[in-house]
C-alpha cells in the first residue's frame, strides 16, 4: 500500500496558523443523517479520504447540505476554488463522492470518495498523492477499540463496590478522592455510544453527539463506551454501584465507533468518523480526549490531534510497539496495562484485566484491555487537572510517571500509577498513607 501523502507545504502552513480557528468540521453537529453511514460501516476497501485546501474568504453558499459545517453562527463553507478543484479531480479520476465536510481547524475540505469498481484503490491513491492540487490522499483507515469482555460476569446490582473494585484499590483511588474528584473537568470520550441513563452515570454526561448514524436506541446499548465511561466517571451513591476514578468529571460522549455485534464489546471506527469527533471535542472545549483505540498512522487524524494539543488539550490513548494512531502522536500520554510486563519505559500503566465497570441497561460487568487502562489514566489526569488546570501534557506525564510504583505479584511485576501519590505532588502536606489508613 502506498504511503499516505502528508499535507502540502501550503496546507501545512495554513494548519500552523490555525490558532485563530476554533470552529471544526461540525460547529454544533447534529447526528449524521446521510445514507453513507451504513455504506461506510461495510467493506471499506474501495474508499479513500481526499482533502484540498479550502480558503473560505470569498466562498458562495453551498448548494448541498453535506458541504457546510453543521449549524452555528460562523458556518465554515466551501470556497469556490475548493469546489472547482474537487470537480476537476472527481472527473479526472472517475471518483464518486460519498460524504464531504469542511474542516475549519485545518483549512481543508475533506471528501470520502469511492474509487471505480474496476480500479485498484492503491493505484488511484498513488496518482492522487502526486497531484499538486491534492493536499492529502489516504485510504479510509479502520480503527479497532481495545477492550475485551471477561469470562467473569456481574449482572446483578453491586452493593459493595470496594469489594469488587480491586483496580481502584491498587491505584489508591479512594485515598485520592480525599484530595480531588475531578469536579468539572471536561473529558471527551471518542468511542462508541454509551448508556447515559445508567444510574451510576447520572449527571456525568454533559454532551452527546453521534457521528455514525441516527440510531439513538443503539447509542444507549453500546457496551464499549459504557465500560470506559464507568471506569472514568461512575458516581454511585448510598453504597450501591461503582465509583469511577474521577467521579465528578463531565463526559462528552462522542460516538465515532460502532459496535460490531450485539452484546459484545468489539467495535470499529474509521478516519471519517474519528476526524469529526476530534474536531467536535475541540469545539466543546474538552480538557482531555480519551482515545481507547488503535489503527494505522493517519496524516489527517494526526494533524487534528496536534491542533487539539496546541489548544492545551491532553490526549490519552494506548501505546504501541509499532507505528499506529494515536500512539505515534507526539505528547500523547501513552498507556499500557499493568499486566503488560514488556511495556516500554515511560509508558503509563494501570490495571487492565477483569476490571469491574458498567454495562448497558443499568448492569455491571468485568472488562479487560488497554481501553480500560487508558480510561483509568484519563481519570487520574482529570483528578490532577481539577487541582491544577494549568498542567500541560508533559507535566502530567512527568508527575504520573513519578507516581508509578511497582510490586511483585504471582503473575509477575505490576507497575501502576498511584492516583493518590500523583495528587500528593500537587497538594501541599498531603499524606496518602494517612488517608489510606482512615
Task: State the DSSP code for 198.
Answer: -
The C-alpha cell that represents 410 in the structure block = 504471582
Domain that holds residue 270: 144-437
Helices (DSSP H) in 222-298: which residue ranges? Answer: 223-233, 271-283
Distance of CA 118 to the CA centre of its chain: 35
Co-location of 217 and 313 in the same domain: yes
Q: In what order do the strands lie in the sheet with 96-103?
A: 96-103, 108-114, 47-53, 136-139
Instruction: Tell me the C-alpha distance between 318 and 300, whole Å.
Output: 19
Instruction: Tell me the C-alpha distance between 12 and 7, whole Å.
Output: 6
Instruction: Tell me the C-alpha distance between 413 and 325, whole Å.
Output: 28
Tell me which of 95, 125, 140 is where a domain ends.
140
**3-class DSSP string for 404-436:** EEEEEECCEEEEEECHHHHHHCCCCCCCHHHHH
Tell me which of 109, 140, 171 is where a domain ends.
140
Co-location of 120 and 181 in the same domain: no
Looking at residue 140, its pLDDT comes to 95
Instruction: Tell me the C-alpha distance between 112 and 231, whole Å.
Output: 34
Contact, 404 vs 416, CB < 8 A?
yes
Pairing between β-strand 288-290 and β-strand 186-191 as defined by DSSP bridges: parallel
Co-location of 298 and 408 in the same domain: yes
Q: Is 302 helix (H, G, I), strand (E, B) or coil?
A: helix
Looking at residue 105, its pLDDT comes to 92
The C-alpha cell that represents 264 in the structure block = 459484545
Co-location of 186 and 231 in the same domain: yes
Co-location of 223 and 107 in the same domain: no
The C-alpha cell that represents 261 in the structure block = 455485534
Which residues make beta-bridge pairs with 407? Answer: 414
Looking at residue 72, its pLDDT comes to 32
Co-location of 207 and 92 in the same domain: no
Residue in the block written with cell 500523547: 332
CATH code, domain carrying 263: 3.40.50.200
Contact, 367 vs 227, CB < 8 A?
yes
Co-location of 363 and 324 in the same domain: yes
Tell me which of 107, 140, 173 is where a domain ends.
140
Number of H helices, E strands in the chain: 15, 20
Closest residue by Cα to residue 159 from 44, 238, 60? 238
pLDDT along the chain (438 residues), means of 10: 40 35 32 56 87 74 34 62 96 95 93 95 97 97 79 50 76 96 98 97 96 94 97 84 96 96 90 96 98 96 97 95 92 94 88 94 94 97 97 96 75 81 90 62
Looking at residue 55, its pLDDT comes to 82
Co-location of 261 and 160 in the same domain: yes
DSSP H or E segment with residue 355: strand 355-359
Distance of CA 338 to the CA centre of its chain: 21
User: Positive or negative, the Cα torsion across 291, 333, 50, 2?
Assistant: negative
The C-alpha cell that represents 241 in the structure block = 454501584
Co-location of 225 and 122 in the same domain: no
The C-alpha cell that represents 84 in the structure block = 472547482
Co-location of 106 and 208 in the same domain: no
Which residues make beta-bridge pairs with 368? Answer: 148
Domain assignment present for residue 1? The answer is no
Which residues make beta-bridge pairs with 350? Answer: 337
Residue in the block written with cell 471499506: 44
Q: Is 272 helix (H, G, I), strand (E, B) or coil?
A: helix
Q: Is 166 helix (H, G, I), strand (E, B) or coil?
A: helix
Angle at which helix 223-233 crosses helix 370-387, to 10 degrees, equals 40
Instruction: Tell me the C-alpha distance between 105 and 76, whole Å.
Output: 10
Co-location of 420 and 304 in the same domain: yes
Domain assignment present for residue 85? The answer is yes
Instruction: Tell me the C-alpha distance between 34 and 289, whole Å.
Output: 26
Closest residue by Cα to residue 61 from 76, 47, 73? 76
Instruction: Tell me the C-alpha distance between 417 and 167, whole Å.
Output: 11
Looking at residue 65, its pLDDT comes to 29
Domain assignment present for residue 2? The answer is no
Closest residue by Cα to residue 134 from 191, 95, 173? 95
Contact, 393 vs 315, CB < 8 A?
yes
Co-location of 428 and 315 in the same domain: yes
Amino acid at each position: 500500500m502506498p504511503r499516505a501523502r502528508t499535507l502540502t507545504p501550503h496546507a501545512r502552513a495554513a494548519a500552523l496558523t490555525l490558532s485563530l480557528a476554533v470552529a471544526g468540521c461540525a460547529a454544533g453537529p447534529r447526528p449524521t443523517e446521510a445514507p453513507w453511514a451504513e455504506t461506510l460501516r461495510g467493506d471499506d476497501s474501495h474508499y479513500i479520504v481526499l482533502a484540498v485546501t479550502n480558503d473560505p474568504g470569498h466562498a458562495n453558499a453551498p448548494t448541498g447540505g453535506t458541504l457546510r459545517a453543521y449549524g452555528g453562527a460562523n458556518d465554515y463553507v466551501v470556497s469556490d476554488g475548493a469546489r472547482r478543484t474537487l470537480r476537476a479531480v472527481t472527473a479526472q479520476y472517475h471518483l464518486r463522492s460519498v460524504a464531504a465536510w469542511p474542516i475549519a481547524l485545518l483549512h481543508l475540505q475533506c471528501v470520502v470518495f469511492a474509487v471505480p469498481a474496476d480500479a485498484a484503490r492503491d493505484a488511484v491513491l498513488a496518482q492522487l498523492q502526486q497531484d499538486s492540487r491534492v493536499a492529502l490522499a489516504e485510504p479510509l483507515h479502520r480503527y479497532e477499540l481495545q477492550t475485551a469482555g471477561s469470562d467473569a460476569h456481574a449482572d446483578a446490582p453491586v452493593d459493595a463496590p470496594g469489594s469488587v473494585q480491586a483496580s481502584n484499590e491498587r491505584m489508591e483511588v479512594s485515598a485520592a478522592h480525599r484530595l480531588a474528584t475531578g469536579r468539572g473537568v471536561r473529558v471527551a470520550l471518542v468511542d462508541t455510544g454509551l448508556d447515559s441513563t445508567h444510574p451510576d452515570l447520572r449527571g456525568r454526561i454533559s454532551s452527546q453527539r453521534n457521528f455514525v448514524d441516527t440510531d439513538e436506541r443503539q447509542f444507549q446499548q453500546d457496551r464499549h463506551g459504557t465500560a470506559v465511561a464507568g471506569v472514568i466517571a461512575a458516581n454511585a451513591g448510598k453504597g450501591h454501584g461503582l465509583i469511577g476514578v474521577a467521579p465528578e468529571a463531565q463526559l462528552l460522549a462522542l460516538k465515532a465507533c460502532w459496535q460490531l455485534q450485539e452484546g459484545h464489546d468489539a467495535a470499529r471506527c474509521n478516519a471519517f468518523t474519528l476526524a469529526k469527533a476530534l474536531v467536535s471535542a475541540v469545539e466543546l472545549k474538552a480538557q482531555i480526549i480519551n482515545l481507547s483505540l488503535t489503527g494505522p498512522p493517519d496524516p489527517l487524524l494526526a494533524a487534528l490531534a496536534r491542533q487539539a494539543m496546541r489548544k492545551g488539550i491532553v490526549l490519552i490513548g494506548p501505546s504501541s510497539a509499532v507505528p499506529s494512531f494515536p500512539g505515534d502522536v507526539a505528547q500523547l500520554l501513552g498507556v499500557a496495562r499493568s499486566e503488560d510486563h514488556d511495556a516500554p519505559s515511560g509508558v503509563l500503566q494501570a490495571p487492565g484485566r477483569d476490571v469491574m465497570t458498567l454495562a448497558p441497561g443499568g448492569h455491571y460487568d468485568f472488562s479487560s484491555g488497554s481501553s480500560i487502562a487508558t480510561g483509568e489514566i484519563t481519570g487520574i489526569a482529570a483528578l490532577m487537572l481539577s487541582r491544577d488546570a494549568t498542567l500541560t501534557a508533559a507535566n502530567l506525564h512527568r508527575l504520573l510517571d513519578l507516581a508509578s510504583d511497582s510490586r511483585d505479584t504471582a503473575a509477575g511485576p505490576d507497575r501502576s500509577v498511584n492516583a493518590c501519590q500523583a495528587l500528593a505532588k500537587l497538594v501541599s502536606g498531603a499524606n496518602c498513607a494517612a488517608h489510606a489508613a482512615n
